[in-house]
Amino acid sequence: MARRALLLGFYSIGGQVLLLRELVASLNGDELFISTALFGWLAAVAVGAYLGGRQRSGPHWLFLPAAILLPIMILATRFSPSLTGHMVGEAIPFAAAALISIAAMLPVGLISGWLFPAITRQHMETQTSIVRVYLVEGIGAFVGGAAIVYLVGEWLSGLQMALVISILMVAVEYVPYGRSGIHKLRRILITLIVLPSTIFLATYLETYLTDLQYRPFSVLDSFDTHYGRQTILGQAGQQVLLSDNNFEAVSADLNTAENLLIPGLLYHPSATRVLYIGRLEYGVAELAAKLPGLSLVGLDPRPGLLASYGDTVAQPAIEFDMVMSDPVTFFASPESRRSRPSDVIGFAVDFQSAYRRSGATGTGGRSEEFDIIVLNAGDLGSYKASRLITATFLENAKQACSGVFILLTRYDTDSHISAEKQRPLATIYRLLRASFAHVDVWPGATTLFIASDVVPVEMLPYDTIITRLDSLEYESHFVSADYLPDRLSSFKRQRLLAAVGGTAGENSLDRPELIHQHLLYRSDVRSVDRHLLSFIAYESTWTVLIAAVIILSFLVVSLLGKPRRFGLFLFFTAGAASLSLELIMFYTFQSLAGALYSQMAMLIGAFMLGLAVGTFLSSLIKGRFCGYAALVIMLILSVALRVTWESWALDAEYANRLFLAHLIFLFVVAAATGALFVAATRHYYGGETKANRGIGYAYEIAGSSVAALFTTAVLLPVIGLNWLLTGIAVLIALALAGFIVRR
């Protein structure tokens, strides 16, 4: 049992995390689809657990199809945008992406859930068999999570790791053990030969598949960073930076570069120090080289891009600095903006030279304040992007800005401004007005916001703008006297000002509405997206009511019949509450650190280790104490997080401490969940050894799947984090009250 349960845990977390990473990288980096994917995964596991509990066959025949399915589904997930007819870099509609994320998880989740009761059935002589399998599975999951964090992205790709897991499953389950030392040695040698050979062949296979995936572009490089998957494509002499299937930048994109740099100089002509949040190598630094006197600093947390840029992207003849720091961390306090050689890389760059590492030696240097801060907002359909447009971030950025703050969006306001476009624009304008004394807006294909505390930007006459433009030692091609009269015409500006002054939503760490607003803007007028997202975002009462009815239905069903049936609601509560808190930890870590992509396996691993430890310790304690203690601990943690989570944001600059806090919280929540699982098992099964052990497991997974579907994808932007945590506390309190009454 132990060997198979360990394999099950390793396979489950491997399948779950590797598929989630592929989905994030393929579906435009949108973390909402982590929730829908987990819904698909957990629903499939629940069905598999129930079906496996009804069947009487052993687990031996399941390991081979499990090993085959995992790499196949990794490839299917990677090619899912192309298979559904979407172009490279095209934003996939919400409904289509949600269905892709659910479907991608079903096969591996189903067989993973089926394996659990099949393994448990081999040891049904005691009522603790399900607990022992749960314990060992948790240990295997922790080992798998640690292996993925260490290996994937650094040594192996996701596909290679999937093949390693498959080979290990086949080797452990199907290769005869033998009792002699010769047999054992032969087994080890075969594994050592097959594994490297498979990885070697997979490298060539992956290169071929990547080239096939991005045709007609040529793939110059493709790799993972801590913040997502990066691909550098080439076509017609240009290089394109693709981040999680989003077009982030195109080399020598003079139009975008001028819209980022020129307006700030028009409003603040004496500016010399410029901070650009993003990559400088694609046009911005090249333009800065033509603007004498500018001191340029780039702020971006992805050092993995540097080597590839040195080989693929033509570099500008200007010396600049790249600060390798997450923007939220960088602006969190003045101390985080002071020079630290460990995370500042200086570049003396021309068209022939390569990168060199130094201290803060570039002409840009680092300072506590900048004359101009530029943020290219990009696609706001993810929490990682939209977290940069909150009152907290803007207030912190203002403390580092002694002049003008420039925000470039991808919303086109050159012609018609639809209702779906108006709301996110109004939300951004409202946030800027709350942080800065003066805010101006420029209509255009990429709408521009200009804000300042010291420069009265909204009062700048048009004639002054043109005069300052003519005085630049650079002849602008796009932000020019030929184009600006039309772009800044009275009609277009008044129309845009009327739009941004209209109905606005919120966007904060507590209630990140902007992500729903942006997804609704991206939806087609007649598509399912429009109706679904409109219902979720603007019919909040019905949205909350549906979630409440689902939970109450499980409560009512568990109260019918014998008192022991309340154990089913304890299973449901264990799954729903724990996964809700886990997803909230994912959200807060992504919002504050931005590195969920790389650390997700370790966070899930800590959760699974907590499950194992909680299950083990509570199985040693007789009576009902562990059930009471588990519910009380989960209730205290929910209330404590409700009261303290905002102070976590204040400590965002301490990245290591932040990560450790998330690990500890997830571990304790999971330990309490494991104890509650044991209590629910005793409450429902009692002394029965022939009962369907998959029913309790299915109820727990059903609770988890409901939480996955509603928590961060639906309820978080609708009611906010504070009310969401309050609802979780109420659910736990109901379970505690029922446990006391139905004992």
Domains, the chain: 1-213 (1.20.1250), 238-506 (3.40.50.150), 539-743 (1.20.1250)
Is residue 329 a contact partner of residue 393, using CB atoms and an 8 Å limit? no
* Rounded-to-integer distance, Cα 194 and Cα 530, Å: 50
Tokens of 292: 């004498």
What confidence score (pLDDT) does residue 109 get?
Answer: 93
The pLDDT of residue 487: 92
At 179, the pLDDT band (50, 70, 90 cuts) reads: low
**Token pair of 541 as six digits:** 């009462």
Say whether pLDDT at 148 is over 50. yes
Burial category of 742 from C-beta neighbours within 10 Å (exposed 0-12, middle 13-18, buried 19 and up): middle
Q: What's the confidence (pLDDT) of residue 180?
A: 60
Could you tell me if residue 682 is left (phi over 0), alpha (psi between -120 and 50 degrees) or otherwise beta?
alpha
Nearest to 293 by CA among 367, 350, 363: 363
Q: Which has more pLDDT, 731 or 47?
A: 731
Mean local confidence (pLDDT), 36-49: 88
Q: What sign does the dihedral 495-476-267-360 (CA atoms) show?
A: positive
The owner of tokens 């109901």 is 734
Percent of the chain topping pLDDT 70 = 87
Cα gap 394→387, rounded to integer Å: 10
Which pLDDT value is given to residue 364? 37
Question: 76 pLDDT exceeds 90?
Answer: yes
d(CA 287, CA 268): 17
pLDDT at residue 344, as a whole number? 45
Residue found by looking up tokens 């400088």 in the block: 280
DSSP sequence for 605-655 = HHHHHHHHHHHHHHHTS-SSHHHHHHHHHHHHHHHHHHHHHHHHHHTTT-H
Rg, C-alpha atoms of the chain:
27
Least Cα distance to 322 among 338, 342, 344, 302 occurs for 344
The rounded mean pLDDT for the chain is: 83
Q: Among 318, 732, 296, which Cα is nearest to 555's? A: 732
> Which pLDDT score is estimated for 334?
62
The answer to whether 603 and 589 have CB atoms below 8 angstroms apart is yes
Residue range 486-515, pLDDT digits in tens? 999 989 999 999 999 988 888 999 999 999
Question: When comparing pLDDT for 194 and 29, which is higher?
Answer: 29
> How far is residue 743's CA from residue 736's CA, in Å, rounded to a whole number?
11
Residue 641 has pLDDT above 60, yes or no: yes
Q: Which residue has the higher pLDDT, 281 or 374?
A: 374
More confident call, 355 vs 172: 172
> What pLDDT is stored for residue 684 in this prediction?
82
Which residue's structure tokens are 């993973």?
112
Q: How far apart are the C-alpha atoms of 34 and 572, rounded to whole Å?
A: 21
CA distance 446 to 451: 16
CA distance 609 to 142: 5
Q: Which of 400-409, 465-474, 573-582, 676-685 has the lowest mean pLDDT?
A: 676-685
Q: Please state whether beta strands 318-323 and 295-299 pair in parallel, antiparallel, or not at all (unpaired).
A: parallel
- Rounded to the nearest 5 degrees, what angle is found at the Cα of 319, between the Cα atoms of 318 and 323? 125
Token pair for 289? 């080289």
Mean pLDDT score, 662-689 = 85
